[in-house]
Structure 1
Amino acid sequence: MERKIFIRNLIFSMAAPSLLISACTNNEVAQTDAVQTYTCPMHPQVMQEFPGKCPVCGMDLVPFDRTNKEKFLTLNENQQLLANITTAVIGESSLNSSSYLNGHLVVNPDQTNFVSSRLSGRIETLYVKETGVQVKKGQALYKLYSEQLLSLQQDYLLMEAQAEKLSSNTRFRELANASRQKLLLYGQTAGQIDRLKKDGAVQPYVTYLAPSSGSVSELMVVEGQYVDEGSVLMRLEDYSRLWVEADIYPSEASSIKIGSKLKVIVAGWESEPLDMLVQFIAPAMASGGQVLQLRGTIENRNNWQPGLQAKVLLPYDSNSEELTLPVDAVIRDGKTEHVWIETKQNIFEPRKVVTGKGSADRVEIKEGLVKGDRVVVTGAYLLYSEYVLKKGEHPVSV
């Protein structure tokens, strides 16, 4: 019996270390599994402890070590070469003499004419039946049948007859002249009235002519339609001069005044900049926005259509002591702005910055950097993506 107990104790003492090692190993695996987390490379706020797809963009989630709290990335020279990462020491320099404002061409309402019916009646003939047609000033637009016009012509002939019979009475001549003026106001031309006086035959039809040259942008009537006096029939737009409207921030508007001369570049005609006089700056920001509207007029030299994109060159005084960087060196994600600094050889850290005015290719750094910092100027976005992929969080706090 004692022999059996001895053998059992001997076996237990030999197996105990193995069980202990196995338990420790299982514990380490459990701990490793506990910290294994998956995230989305594009949306680091998405984190879970099992593989899957991002609920925001549908990308496959990737594993990352959430216990790694280091706020820097280490890349060797080969990795930097593959990622096209280059750096430059930030120093004092000046921006270009102008920046771009995004704008577009707009119809000038001062050169828009609404053609309305001066009499009530029926559209007998419509000479322009579709939009987009170019018309010239004095061109026939439509012919109207109007009993009201017939009555006015009869009154005019009667006044003229009385004025001729009673030529010694100036009162009848004044009435005849007033009747003639009324016909002119209702759209009859002087030639038509003279012909009416000569022939003595009333004509219930009147042909209306285009008050200006332009393009028919809207047509609101068809042949045979009855219209009331004052009804709008069509809209003519003259594109020989166009408005340029652009959005401008209040800080930029302080350097612009009404009457200032700016350069405008229309998309596709970059080699032909035009001069524009600023005619209007909105006194208040648009509802729901943080920008003001700037407006000016340009000559339409190349038959440009309203809606074309245009750039307005905004000049400003440049400070030779300002810190500037290439535009691509600053990462903007809608909430923060940051750059990447090479603090030591092959070690890169993110740093939050505050930007100021900018030009087409450079931007002013107002806060966050000092002269002499070595900043990543190309490949910054790759560093940002790599950081999010490895750390599962944004490089800088909001």
Structure 2
Amino acid sequence: MKTFLLALAAVTLVLVGVLAGPPLRVALASWQDAPEPAAEGGGAKAQLWQSGMHPWIITTEPGNCPICGMKLEPIDPAKLTGEIAIDPVVVQNIGVRTAPVVRGPAVATLRTVGTVEVAEPNVHDVNLRVSGWIVDLFVDYEGAEVAAGDELFTLYSPQLYAAAEEFLLAAGGGSADDPLRGSARDRLLNLGLTESQVDALREAGTTERNMPVVSPATGTVTEKMVNEGMNVQPGMRVFRIVDLSTVWVQVTLYESQLSGVEVGQPATLTVASLPGETFEGELSFIDPTLDPRTRAVQARLVFENPGNRLKPGMFADVTLRNVLAEEAVLAPREAVVKTGARELAFVAKGGGRFDPREVETAGDVADGRVRIASGLEPGENVVTSGQFLLDSEASVRASLARMVGGEGGVRARVPRPLGGGSGEAGNPQFLEDVAPGREETVPLAKAYLQLQTNLTRNEPAGAPAVAEAARSLAAASDGRTAELAAAVAESADRVPADADLATVRGSFEAISLAAVELFEAAPPAGVGPLAVAHCPMVDKDWLQAGAAIRNPYDPSMLTCGTVLRTLPEGAADAR
């Protein structure tokens, strides 16, 4: 039966060859590099023609596609350059916006959230050093504002009264430098009276039964622990007074945010309850140890608090500013597009023309900008929206330029007969050498073919090697190649390393379909013709080397299947 089909195919080809003539002869040809024909006038590039359905079909003469028969379309010479040209109307419709590249100070900003707290040095406690009773309480509620020296209450203390009498007795006789007089004065100070109170007592010459106790600082009473008539003992805290003219703000800084953060760095603060108001302060402390669980450190900022408008316990938005450089080239952050390992920006040239530039950045800065180390100059306008459309257009043009000759210039690809250099007719087959060989896809192709061979031997090994090779290819490539390699890796990663034969076979078709799409776009150099085959028994496809059927889905039917098509073969020296 197979012999009959082959004979029938041969007769059909002969008849079509007689009827079709040149189109068939082109279809049974492969491509080779040839010198680019000289253009008229000696300056312009030669016109090239391409198949819309099979873009790797490129020729120097008009005609029809040797695969599908569709008419070849002329290639715009501008597409073979790095510059992108788009109709200005289309540019306006897709909303392409631009912004200038400028030179200015590079200021890094770090935004975080903190909590307003009382500044610990501004906390003052009123503690008694003698026992007694509260007689008159002048500050009788928490939240009261007091000034340094204001009377808080009067205290009746027999111990304090006796010490005051002794002082007056010593002060009434003897000289000013009398040791007894100095000792009596020191005793009053140690019992809690202030210098001014002792001086006032000496000038008055009489002792009050109830001694006033004054505030040690200006601030707000946050704790009141006594009432009138209450008995108090030494060491008892009766008031806490807090000066809120300066507050602390505690923030959490994660390990990744610590670069460029240092003590003394200026900061600004805003709170939701005071819209439009900004408070100025600085970073005063960074915890020297990092929490191993959260990978973060605590930091403290100090802010002036005029009018006590910042209340302890408030949440605050904090912005730290750090001047990285007095002058730097700055571009909008949206203008830089990351494509794999590269960063691109599109420079607007006017009239719908854009120049893709590979740039090197040196970190984000304030105002939504990024520092440019190389690739852009001040005064150039860069695209800030619609870059992905331009990026896809640039990828298409870069691929087209590589297909017709790479970076060294356009090379025409002209047909040569199959079967040998003599021009004699060979066996009918699909086109060869229609796309440049890709050395970087060779490891993945070999890993895939090894997996296919293993399955024909009922061996499940090989999927992890395919996944590893695909990931390496995706990391080393960009554009469409990187996307397709990532798809292969994703399919192969679904197969566990210790998967059984049934599991590997169940995932093999997904790996194969992704591999077919990749090797069509980037054929491996020197690997040989790769054929897409189909098994009618399980209705699944696979990729194999050569046309001899080797069915990986059921080795008991090793030769069951049909070759659907052969992928374009990349020449070993194409790159």
With the length of structure 2 as denominator, give the TM-score of the two structures: 0.37
Please show how residues 285-324 of structure 1 align to structure 2 within 5 Å.
Answer: 285-286=290-291, 288-302=293-307, 303-315=309-321
How big is each residue's C-alpha offset from its partner over 1:68-91, in whole Å with a ceiling of 9 and x where there is no partner? xxxxxxxxxxxxxxxxxx999xxx
Indicate the residue corresponding to 1:215 in structure 2: 220
User: Is the 2:152–2:214 contact (alpha carbons within 8 Å) kept by the matching residues of 1?
Assistant: yes
Indicate the residue corresponding to 2:237 in structure 1: 232
Q: Is 2:130 the counterpart of 1:125?
A: no
User: Is the 1:122–1:226 contact (alpha carbons within 8 Å) kept by the matching residues of 2?
Assistant: yes
Q: Distance in 1 between matches of 2:367 and 2:479?
A: 24
Q: Distance in 1 between matches of 2:479 and 2:314?
A: 43
Q: Distance in 2 between matches of 1:322 and 1:182?
A: 75
Q: Distance in 1 between matches of 2:126 and 2:292?
A: 33
Q: Distance in 2 between matches of 1:224 and 1:245?
A: 41
Aligned with 1:281 (options 280, 286, 291): 286
Q: CA deviation at 1:157?
A: 3.0
User: Is the 2:265–2:321 contact (alpha carbons within 8 Å) kept by the matching residues of 1?
Assistant: no
Q: CA deviation at 1:315?
A: 4.4
How big is each residue's C-alpha offset from its partner over 1:69-121, in whole Å with a ceiling of 9 and x where there is no partner? xxxxxxxxxxxxxxxxx999xxxx9x995342011211111111111113221
Aligned with 1:159 (options 153, 165, 170): 170
Deviates more, 1:208-217 or 1:116-125: 116-125
Q: Distance in 1 between matches of 2:369 and 2:479?
A: 18
Q: CA deviation at 1:227?
A: 1.7
Indicate the residue corresponding to 1:140 in structure 2: 151
How big is each residue's C-alpha offset from its partner over 1:9-68, in whole Å with a ceiling of 9 and x where there is no partner? xxxxxxxxxxxxxxxxxxxxxxxxxxxxxxxxxxxxxxxxxxxxxxxxxxxxxxxxxxxx
Q: Distance in 1 between matches of 2:143 and 2:220?
A: 6
Aligned with 1:102 (options 88, 113, 120): 113
Q: Distance in 1 between matches of 2:108 and 2:201?
A: 67
Indicate the residue corresponding to 2:126 in structure 1: 115
Distance 1:192 1:278, change over 3 A: closer
Please show how residues 1-398 of structure 1 align to structure 2 within 5 Å.
Answer: 97-163=108-174, 173-189=178-194, 193=198, 196-197=201-202, 201-286=206-291, 288-302=293-307, 303-315=309-321
Q: CA deviation at 1:177?
A: 2.3
Distance 1:359 1:225, change over 3 A: same
**1:143 partner SS:** strand
Q: Distance in 2 between matches of 1:161 and 1:154?
A: 11
Alignment: residue pair count: 245
Deviates more, 1:255-264 or 1:281-290: 281-290
Q: CA deviation at 1:297?
A: 0.8
Instruction: Give the AA of the match of 1:130.
Output: Y
Distance 1:193 1:218, change over 3 A: closer
Distance 1:180 1:192, change over 3 A: same
Q: Distance in 2 between matches of 1:183 and 1:145?
A: 14
Q: CA deviation at 1:218?
A: 1.0
Distance 1:194 1:293, change over 3 A: closer
Distance 1:322 1:244, change over 3 A: farther
User: Is the 1:98–1:313 contact (alpha carbons within 8 Å) kept by the matching residues of 2?
Assistant: yes
Larger Rg: 2
Distance 1:304 1:195, change over 3 A: closer
Q: Distance in 1 between matches of 2:478 and 2:318?
A: 32
Q: Distance in 1 between matches of 2:478 and 2:126?
A: 65
Instruction: Give the AA of the match of 1:120.
Output: S
User: Is the 2:128–2:192 contact (alpha carbons within 8 Å) kept by the matching residues of 1?
Assistant: no
Q: CA deviation at 1:362?
A: 11
Structure 1 stretches of 5 or more lacking a match?
Answer: 1-85, 325-355, 374-398
With the length of structure 1 as denominator, give the TM-score of the two structures: 0.52
User: Is the 1:98–1:359 contact (alpha carbons within 8 Å) kept by the matching residues of 2?
Assistant: yes
How big is each residue's C-alpha offset from its partner over 1:350-378, in whole Å with a ceiling of 9 and x where there is no partner? xxxxxx99999999xxxx999869xxxxx
Q: Distance in 2 between matches of 1:152 and 1:231?
A: 20
Q: CA deviation at 1:262?
A: 2.0
Larger % of helix: which? 2
Distance 1:372 1:268, change over 3 A: farther
Q: Distance in 2 between matches of 1:307 and 1:144?
A: 34
The CA RMSD over aligned residues, in Å, is: 4.0
Q: Pick 1 or 2: higher relative contact order, CA cutoff 8 A, min separation 6.
A: 1
Instruction: Give the AA of the match of 1:307.
Output: G
Distance 1:261 1:201, change over 3 A: closer
Q: Distance in 2 between matches of 1:301 and 1:203?
A: 39
User: Is the 1:145–1:206 contact (alpha carbons within 8 Å) kept by the matching residues of 2?
Assistant: yes
**1:223 partner SS:** coil
User: Is the 1:99–1:360 contact (alpha carbons within 8 Å) kept by the matching residues of 2?
Assistant: no
Distance 1:322 1:206, change over 3 A: farther
Distance 1:362 1:289, change over 3 A: farther
Percent identity of paired positions between Structure 1 and Structure 2:
29
